[in-house]
């Protein structure tokens, strides 16, 4: 096949979608100027290699981060003048299906079943606490964005993902109301929650300080583990400075279940205040927190199997 006439891979993108039988799916699309031959190799239960024969890579080689809860990343490589490899790295095992879509540009659709996630989250109850509310505005940005307002859309996005994953997700407040810590914690107790997640932003007198952090109640080992996972996945998703995990000494979190306080970004930093107003970060922050909680449940589940 002459190089000039070879199909060229020009784009790779992904989305999370519902299937026809209400399955929850991860879809990846490889776009090309023309159809190409392909073959699938299951390297192991979490690595899938797709060989695209006769296809030339017309985009950079290397890693594309996905982190959609199932697909962690994709690696693109021009193996030789006649073959491109697309390697998928999954967070959990999943069934895969391929379909060639005869449209222009030509698309190869890779569909993965997110069944692992719905299995992991079914029966779980998560309390999502959009912090502050009413007269208690929380932190305030240089251009007057208020913490109590910005945690709401993040909480709503998070609730939506948990529900789709099959969990029960309950918000401590749904409107702009001032609720005491006691009432928030009482809700967690009444719901027999498995996880409590309080959403905040960081505030600092020094406007240069930026980034996200996750806090846990002093002395709670489970909460510290949860905080570590959440922080790791959140930063992967929103790519701001990592302020790490730390103990929270104020008695604002429950002690009898895994609980964390996420400071999504720093509202007093002017760049991050602008960033926070965007729908993208509000969605990505929720996805990152979800991924962290997924890791926590996955590890807990494997601990149970071992013991
Ligand atoms: Zn706060």
Q: How far is ligand 1, taken at its centre, from the CA of residue 135, in Å?
A: 13
Query: Which residues are within 8 A (CB) of 40 and not within 5 positions of it... i.e. 6 or more apart?
Result: 48, 49, 50, 51, 96, 98
Q: How far is ligand 1, taken at its centre, from the CA of residue 162, in Å?
A: 22
**216 bridge partner residues:** 247
Residue 252 confidence (pLDDT): 94
Report the run of H or E that residue 248 belongs to, with start and end: strand 242-248
Q: How far is ligand 1, taken at its centre, from the CA of residue 203, in Å?
A: 8
Q: How far is ligand 1, taken at its centre, from the CA of residue 216, in Å?
A: 14
Query: Which residues are within 8 A (CB) of 20 and not within 5 positions of it... i.e. 6 or more apart?
Result: none
Which residues hold their Cβ within 5 A of ligand 1, which is an ion? 131, 138, 200
Q: How far is ligand 1, taken at its centre, from the CA of residue 294, in Å?
A: 24
Q: How far is ligand 1, taken at its centre, from the CA of residue 285, in Å?
A: 16
Two structure tokens written together for 134:
């009413």
Q: How far is ligand 1, taken at its centre, from the CA of residue 295, in Å?
A: 25
Q: How far is ligand 1, taken at its centre, from the CA of residue 269, in Å?
A: 15
Q: How far is ligand 1, taken at its centre, from the CA of residue 13, in Å?
A: 35
Two structure tokens written together for 107:
């698309």
User: Can you give the residue ranges of every domain in the chain?
Assistant: 3-113, 119-306
Q: How far is ligand 1, taken at its centre, from the CA of residue 163, in Å?
A: 25
Q: How far is ligand 1, taken at its centre, from the CA of residue 151, in Å?
A: 9
Q: How far is ligand 1, taken at its centre, from the CA of residue 192, in Å?
A: 24
Query: Which residues are within 8 A (CB) of 176 and not within 5 positions of it... i.e. 6 or more apart?
Result: 133, 134, 148, 149
Q: How far is ligand 1, taken at its centre, from the CA of residue 223, in Å?
A: 18
Two structure tokens written together for 1:
């096949």
Q: How far is ligand 1, taken at its centre, from the CA of residue 201, in Å?
A: 6
Taking each helix axis from N to C end, the angle separating 279-306 and 221-238, rounded to the nearest 10 degrees, works out to 140
Q: How far is ligand 1, taken at its centre, from the CA of residue 121, in Å?
A: 27
Question: Per CATH, which fold does 119-306 belong to?
Answer: Aminopeptidase (3.40.630)
Pairwise CA distance, residues 47 & 183, whole Å: 46
Residue range 3-113 forms a domain whose CATH class is mainly beta
Contact (Cβ atoms closer than 8 angstroms) between residue 176 and residue 137: no
Residue 82 confidence (pLDDT): 85
Q: How far is ligand 1, taken at its centre, from the CA of residue 206, in Å?
A: 17
Query: For the chain, what's the residue count?
Result: 307
**247 bridge partner residues:** 216
Q: How far is ligand 1, taken at its centre, from the CA of residue 144, in Å?
A: 15
Contact (Cβ atoms closer than 8 angstroms) between residue 146 and residue 140: yes
Q: How far is CA 39 from CA 243, 277, 284, in A?
A: 43, 43, 33
Q: Which residues of the chain have pLDDT under 50?
A: 1-2
Q: How far is ligand 1, taken at its centre, from the CA of residue 262, in Å?
A: 9
- Show the CA angle centred on residue 120, arms to residues 166 and 93, nearest 5°: 120
Q: How far is ligand 1, taken at its centre, from the CA of residue 147, in Å?
A: 7
Q: How far is ligand 1, taken at its centre, from the CA of residue 190, in Å?
A: 23
Task: Look at the pTM and tell me if it is higher than 0.75.
Answer: yes
Pairwise CA distance, residues 53 & 199, whole Å: 47
Q: How far is ligand 1, taken at its centre, from the CA of residue 139, in Å?
A: 6
Residue 1 confidence (pLDDT): 46
Q: How far is ligand 1, taken at its centre, from the CA of residue 137, in Å?
A: 8
The strand pair at 212-217 and 242-248 is best described as parallel
């Amino acid at each position: 096949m002459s190089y000039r006439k070879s199909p060229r891979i020009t784009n790779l993108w992904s989305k999370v979608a519902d299937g026809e039988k209400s399955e929850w799916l991860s879809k990846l699309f490889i776009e090309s100027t023309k159809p190409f031959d392909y073959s699938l190799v299951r390297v192991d239960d979490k690595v899938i290699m797709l060989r695209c024969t006769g296809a030339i890579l017309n985009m950079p080689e290397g890693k594309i981060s996905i982190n959609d809860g199932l697909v962690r990343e994709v690696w693109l490589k021009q193996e030789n003048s006649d073959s491109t490899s697309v390697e998928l790295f999954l967070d959990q095992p999943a069934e895969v299906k391929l379909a060639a879509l005869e449209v222009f540009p030509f698309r190869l659709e890779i569909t993965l079943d997110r069944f692992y996630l719905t299995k992991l989250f079914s029966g779980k109850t998560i309390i999502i606490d959009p912090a502050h509310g009413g007269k208690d505005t929380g932190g305030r940005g240089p251009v007057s964005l208020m913490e109590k307002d910005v945690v709401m859309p993040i909480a709503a996005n998070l609730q939506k993902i948990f529900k789709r994953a099959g969990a029960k997700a309950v918000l401590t407040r749904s409107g702009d109301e001032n609720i005491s810590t006691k009432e928030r914690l009482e809700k967690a107790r009444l719901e027999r929650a498995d996880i409590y997640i309080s959403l905040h932003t960081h505030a600092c007198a020094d406007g240069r300080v930026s980034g996200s952090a996750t806090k846990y109640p002093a002395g709670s080992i489970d909460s510290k583990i949860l905080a570590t996972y959440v922080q790791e996945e959140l930063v992967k998703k929103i790519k701001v400075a990592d302020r790490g995990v730390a103990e929270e000494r104020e008695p604002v979190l429950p002690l009898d279940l895994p609980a964390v306080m996420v400071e999504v970004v720093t509202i007093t930093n002017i760049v991050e205040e602008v960033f926070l107003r965007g729908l993208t970060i509000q969605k990505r922050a929720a996805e990152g927190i979800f991924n962290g909680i997924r890791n926590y449940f996955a590890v807990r589940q494997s601990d149970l199997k071992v013991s």
